[in-house]
Amino acid sequence: MGIKEDLDFVNNCQKEMVLLNKVSALLDWDQQTHMPSKGIQSRAEKIALLEGMAHEKALSEELFLVVSKLRNENLEGDSKIMIEKLYHDLLKARKIPKSFVEELARVSAVANSAWKEARDKNDFIIFSHHLKNIIELKRKESEMYGFSGHPYNCLLDDFEEGMTEEKLKVQFDKLKKGLVEILHKIENSENYKNQNLILTKKDFPKEMQMELAKDVVRRIGLEEEFSRIDFAEHPFMTGIGIGDVRITTNIREDPLFCFGSCIHEAGHALYELGMPEEHFYNLLGNEPSLGIHESQSRFWENMVGMSKEFWEFYYPKFDEKYNLGDFEQWYKEVNFVTPGKIRIESDELHYCLHIILRFEIELGLIDGSINVDDLPSIWNMKMKELFGVVPENDKEGVLQDVHWSCGYIGYFPTYALGTIYSAQLFEKLVKEIPDIKEDIRKGDFKRIGKWLYEKIHKQGRKFLAEDLINNVCGEGLNVEVYLNYLNKKYGEIYGF
């Protein structure tokens, strides 16, 4: 075959894998939103079959030989980048047998159902043996990949290519130190000691919460004909196909949870819709890392959705529904700092401490220094150490997150990386468009959406995460930018 025929063959193979993975994603979305609970065993078999079929295509000897051949051709532009990245992916895939992929998919689907039951009954034991199975499989996966340094590294690489446990520890140590310093300033301030909360004194009907959440995601650019919003135990976003993204939320006592989670997931959805459509059926139509994906959700959720300019625009809509009173008090409450027990309900200062806690636990689970049976007590001990509070039960402790039930060991650090990246991106946006905060104040988000599309979305997976950030911001990961943002913002709110 000639070069064109070889590229056509490679692209057809990738298209088949993408379609299989998207059908699997659709089944997973349905499992978490609409599927009857008794359907889990059958659903696990279906997902295992699809993921096994997709992996089998990645193991194709013909595909590997054609990709290897194309690496030696004089390819240019996107084709050259795509072939190099596909070669990297195939080398990893060839280390994992199809039977293992099917087993992990099956075990994870059942574990996710057990996690939901354990949360409902507030009993970690219901989930614990399923988690043991997942941890055992992830350790095996690490051994099959082969690893340099910590066995966690190859699992982390699946979510954040090129990142290692050693690099993360350096960055997280700086982040943790900076966050603790800012928290001490806040906790010693008079404004912190005299906080007066509005939310605890108001009733927020479910219908009103959803009405406002749907309104805000449309305003930031997520159009109804491309998306839908459903309820799930844990909010998430799934890209199903071209022009088809699904986000989920949940209703809790705090109305800002539904509102904020919808903005967060809409940020993910906008990224999915903005990726290069011409590459939808090959790997260049993906994100370079989940840290970059999380940067888009955290950008909209925090940099925009928790800013004073945003609430100067949006507060009247909340006030009309809930009769809230003083704007300045409301803005302080939106950014209220308290050592909460739940990650996805947490403020900006404590959020990354939640991630560091999970990162430390995952390292122990994978290297064997932490046993699954001891997780509730270890979790509570670390919460006391980092936050000064202890969860009252498993649901608000070790069972609060869905990720481990899905086999996503190594995902959590990407939330912190994405949070840092989002601050760097916002800083660069303001430098390039100095009056952009006026747009936010007016409720006009078009220039922000266009800027993110040009700088991040349409780049797909052409660059590694840190290279992409360096291309946009002029530097790679920089914890100090995020800490400076927090210092300035919360210094103004709490008067330090």
Q: What is the CATH number of domain 165-494?
A: 1.10.1370.30
Task: Give the distance between the most distant pair of CA atoms in the chain.
Answer: 75
Terminal CA-CA length for the chain: 69
What band does 194 get if pLDDT is binned at 50, 70 and 90?
confident
Q: What is the pLDDT of residue 60?
A: 98
pLDDT(198) > 80: no
Q: Are 429 and 252 in contact (CB under 8 A)?
A: no
Positions annotated as catalytic residues are 265
Cα separation, 192 vs 342, whole angstroms? 20
Phi-psi region of 477 (alpha: psi -120 to 50; beta: other; left: phi over 0): beta
What band does 200 get if pLDDT is binned at 50, 70 and 90?
low
Kindly report, residue by residue over 96-127, the tens digit of the pLDDT: 999 999 999 999 999 999 999 999 999 999 99
Neighbours of 448 (CB within 10 A): 21
Kindly report, residue by residue over 133-172, the tens digit of the pLDDT: 999 999 999 999 998 899 999 999 999 999 999 999 999 9
Domain extents for the chain? 3-146, 165-494
- Per-residue HEC secondary structure of 386-426 comes to HHCCCCCCCCCCCCCCCHHHHCCCCCCHHHHHHHHHHHHHH
What band does 354 get if pLDDT is binned at 50, 70 and 90?
very high
Kindly report, residue by residue over 409-428, the tens digit of the pLDDT: 999 999 999 999 999 999 99
Cα separation, 157 vs 95, whole angstroms? 15
Q: What is the pLDDT of residue 397?
A: 98
What band does 267 get if pLDDT is binned at 50, 70 and 90?
very high
Least confident of 78-87, 143-152, 275-284, 297-306: 143-152
Q: What is the pLDDT of residue 197?
A: 77
